[in-house]
Structure 1
Amino acid sequence: MEIKEFDDVVLKDGRTAGIVEVLDSTHFLADVGDGPSNWENIAIELKDIAWVYNRPNNSK
């Protein structure tokens, strides 16, 4: 599975996350939370991602 910057993904623990930075093909920084007031920036790995549910048309 290829993950791109700004993809919205579902994590295996059920949370949704927005990819904010691709560090390499298996490591990413993502925002999780319900909105800007409680977003948390976390490091995730490809193995933590269940699927991509949204990819912007103009993604890198």
Structure 2
Amino acid sequence: MKINLFDDVLLKNGQSAGIVEVLDEQTFLADIGDSPENWDTIDITLADIERIINRSE
């Protein structure tokens, strides 16, 4: 699965995340949370991702 900058993904733990930085093909920084007030930026790997929800254009 190819993950691009600004893709929205579903994590295996049920959370949705927005990719904000692609570090390499396996490692990403992603924002999780419902709104800017409670967003948190986390490190995730390709193994943490269940599927792509919305592909960036």
What range describes the TM-score normalised by the shorter chain of this pair?
Answer: over 0.9
Q: Corresponding residue for 1:44? A: 44
Q: Deviations over 1:3-55 (max 9, x none)?
A: 00000000000000000000000000000000100000000000000000101
- TM-score between the two structures when normalised by the length of structure 2: 0.97
Letter in 2 for 1:46: L
Gaps of 5+ in 1: none
Match of 2:23, SS? strand
User: What is the Cα-based RMSD across aligned positions, in Å?
Assistant: 0.5
Match of 1:47, SS? helix
Letter in 2 for 1:41: T
- TM-score between the two structures when normalised by the length of structure 1: 0.93
- Do the aligned residues in 1 keep the contact of 2:5 with 2:56 (CA within 8 Å)? no
- Do the aligned residues in 1 keep the contact of 2:7 with 2:55 (CA within 8 Å)? yes
Letter in 2 for 1:28: F
Q: Give, in angstroms, the shift of residue 56 of structure 1.
A: 2.1
